[in-house]
Chain A
Amino acid sequence: MTPELFFQYLFAGITYGIMYAIVAIGFNIIYNTTGIINFAQGEFVMLGGMISISLLQFMPLPLAVVCAVIITMLVGALIEMIFIRWLDNPSVLRLIIITIGLSILMREVALHIWDESIRSLPYFYGNEITTIGIGPVRISPQVLWVIGVCGVVVIGLSLFFKITPLGREMRACSANRTAAILCGINTRNMVTFSFMLSAGIGALAGCVMSPITYTQYDSGTALAIKGFTVAILGGLGNSMGAVAAGLLLGILEAYSVAVVPLAFQDAISIAILLIILFVRPHGLFGSSEAARLTEF
């Protein structure tokens, strides 16, 4: 492998890794406040991409992205209020099955609205062939957008959870639900907020990655699985861990293409997940004790 190729693979891996990390952060937000893994998280990503592509016909790109994020946030809140809010002490199995059902339903609705064709947003800067040289490698400016958005999301989230009252209430809710209720925090509202927040982050991810990965009605499933893999690798609920694990998985995947056929790429990354689950069930960076009680 030539040094150029080595770095080219490295950057491809980083790009995908960052995308996985953003999806994983979406998982973590809901998990932290509710203990639920939202199997429909990938569908938020798909919705964000699809809605922004449709809105682009009526408005400029930045506005379309903002509107898509807001609409997806509303969808997320609506879903939580209709399907989850009023359940009394549901079992994990029940919640898993409900969110799986939701993901099927959202996918099917998307299929009937946007049919099966593959769409994408235009590149935010330049076009398909615009590249920026970094040392020996050339990357698309969209990659910088992806990395930038991820950075903003991670920093923004940690500020949000540390500084704002709402963020602190959500953290209290994840640390000890009963105590949070006793302090007068409406924990049910916090759960709705967490769904909104994670839907918004998913949608934002869906918008920035759409020019690179394209968007189709069923593109959410594969992303959700990768995102979940990363969330578990990094330790459920740990956002910095998710970024590290995302980069690790993305880079491993990128280099695996050099060794095994592309068709086996998914199988490889899932096999890695299985092995890590068996050896360290609480993830690479998570400790079993702190699995739920994490700083965001």
Chain B
Amino acid sequence: MKSSKVFPLCILIGLVIGVQVVTQLTDKTFYLTQLTMAAYYTLVVIGLSVLMGYAGQISIGHAGFFAIGGYLSAALTTHNLVSLQTHPFIQALGSMGMLIPGQDLYGEQLLTVAPWPACLFALAVAAVVALVLGVPVLKLKGHYLAMATLGFGIIIFRIGLATEFFGEADGISEVPAFVLLPSLAGLPALSVSGDFGHRIENYYIAWGLLVLGMVLLLNLIDSRTGRALRSIHGSEEAAEAIGINTARLKLAVFVLSAVFAAIAGVFLTHYNGGIGPSEASVMKSVRYVALVAVGGMANLWGVLIMGVTLTFLSLRGVFGSYDDAVFGTILILVMLFAPDGILSIRGKALLARFKKENA
């Protein structure tokens, strides 16, 4: 990695640690809860940024992928399999160590899928759905693509809302903690859960994941593939003409961004201990698109900063009952006056001054 990329990452990591230490010292660790959630939502947004900003393909259905991840891992880790215990398939799963026995509050026997296999299964399903959907959908352009992805999001929303397995309008609650690493060599176990005792550790898990995602995406867009992606955004015909397999590349990025959304879905669901149909709603998808637009589309750092800031403020309830209205207004203002994102306003002025001084 080039030092120009390592430096901002170091600042980010420093900030993450700094915020944790400051909240610890000022006894305001409750802020970490919303910061953790904001990090997960931003993971969706940076994935979408590569799809929208770099590959130039809009998706108003990413809440659908988030929901696939969240709902599947929640359903698998809470659904009691005791009545199916004798089924050969369930026994095979059990012998592979993929099931966890337990007891509920009333002493009933429980047998559920362990979080790790559930997580991997959910991610695999999200990837396959993205692949199957992406092949026909990404042939569409403009309004048709927007509509098709919007339609996909609504179908997922409806399935969550109408299926008993996914808890219908109530969603799924009492999702167990996700033990990432069992306790090893005296170190405590690392688990994703909303427990107050795990607050700091979860903050670092979420932000670690986000930093990891950033590293991955920054490297991706700076590679041959990244340049190819930008050429698609510029002109798909020209990209074809210089020998880029545009269909395959668009599909790959679509699947990648879907998996990012699904990872965020899995982790946030375990962190919140539940998921409801509102996570799959159209408004959520629109919000992700809004955050990408506000951050400047093809500007991962801008998207990260605006994503975390606005999501954090929204989760803190700063906007009150005007939450959606604020997002709508920001969306319109940014698209009218600064289609390259809020940060571009300062950036352009600085760049102009820099050029003048060097001239």
* B282 CB-CB contact with A under 8 Å: yes
CA–CA, A91 to B340, complex, Å? Answer: 12
Contacts of B152 in A (CB 8 A): 274
Question: Known interface pairs A87-B336, A97-B289, A108-B324. Does A37 touch B140 (Cβ–Cβ under 8 Å)?
Answer: no
Is B68's CB within 8 Å of the partner chain A?
no
Q: How large is the interface on B (under 10, 10 to 19, 20 to 34, 35 or more residues)?
A: 35 or more
Residues of A within 8 A of B325 (CB): 104-105, 108-109, 112
User: Please, which residues of chain B bring their CB within 8 A of the CB of A92?
Assistant: 142-143
Assembled-state Cα–Cα distance A109/B58 (Å): 27
Per-position binary interface string of chain A over residues 101-121, scored 1 when its CB falls under 8 Å from any chain B CB and 0 otherwise? 111110111001000000000
Q: Closest chain A residue to B141 by CB distance? A: A92
> Contact string, B254-298, partner A, CB cutoff 8 A, digits 1/0?
000000000000000000000000000011001001100100000
**Cβ contact of B331, chosen from A90, A100, A270, A274, cutoff 8 A:** A100
With contact pairs A266-B158, A267-B155 given, residues A108 and B148 touching in the complex (Cβ less than 8 Å): no
B125-156 contacts to A, CB under 8 A, are 136-137, 139-140, 142-144, 146-148, 150-152, 154-155
Identify which of A104, A263, A277 contacts B328 (C-beta below 8 A).
A104
Quick one: which of B147-194 are within 8 Å of A by CB?
A: 147-148, 150-152, 154-155, 158-159, 161-162
**A221 & B155 in contact (Cβ 8 Å cutoff):** no
Is A281 a contact partner of B144 (Cβ separation < 8 A)?
Answer: yes
Residues of A within 8 A of B143 (CB): 37, 92, 96, 236
Residues in A whose Cβ lies below 8 Å from that of B293? 97
Q: Taking chain A's interface residues, is the majority helix, strand, or loop, or is none over half, making it mixed?
A: helix
Tell me if A221 and B332 are in contact (CB < 8 A): no
Complex interface: chain B residues within 8 A of A281 (CB): 139-140, 144
> Is B335 interfacial (CB-CB < 8 Å)?
yes
| Contact pattern, A 216-236, Cβ under 8 Å of B = 1, otherwise 0 | 000001000100110010001
- Determine if A261 is an interface residue (Cβ-Cβ < 8 Å): yes
Which one of A37, A93, A105, A236 has the greatest number of beta carbons of chain B within 10 Å?
A93
Given A108-B324, A281-B144: A263 and B161 within 8 A (CB)?
yes
Contact B332 A105 (CB under 8 A): yes
In-complex Cβ contact of B140 among A105, A266, A271, A277 (8 A): A277
Q: Measured between alpha carbons, how far is A232 from B159 in the docked complex, in Å?
A: 24
Determine whether A278 belongs to the interface, using a CB cutoff of 8 Å to chain B.
yes
The residue in chain B whose Cβ has the minimal distance to the Cβ of A269 is B151
| Cα distance, A90 to B324, chains bound together (Å) | 25
CA distance A37 to B154 in the complex (A): 19
Bound Cα distance from A102 to B143, whole angstroms: 16
- By beta carbon, the residue of chain A nearest B147 is A228
Task: Tell whether A83 pairs with B339 under 8 Å between CB atoms, given A96-B58, A267-B158, A270-B151.
Answer: no
Tell whether B329 is near chain A: CB-to-CB under 8 Å: yes
Contact B332 A274 (CB under 8 A): no
Chain A residue with the shortest CB-CB distance to B151: A270
The smallest C-beta distance from A238 to any residue of chain B, in angstroms, reads 15
* Most chain A beta-carbon neighbours within 10 Å: one of B147, B283, B327: B147
| Nearest CB in chain B: distance from A267 CB, A | 4
Q: What are 6 residue pairs bridging A and B, where the CB atoms are less than 8 Å apart in the complex?
A: A83-B332, A94-B339, A97-B290, A104-B325, A108-B325, A267-B162
The 3 A-B pairs with the shortest beta carbon distances in the complex, nearest first, are A104-B328, A263-B162, A101-B331
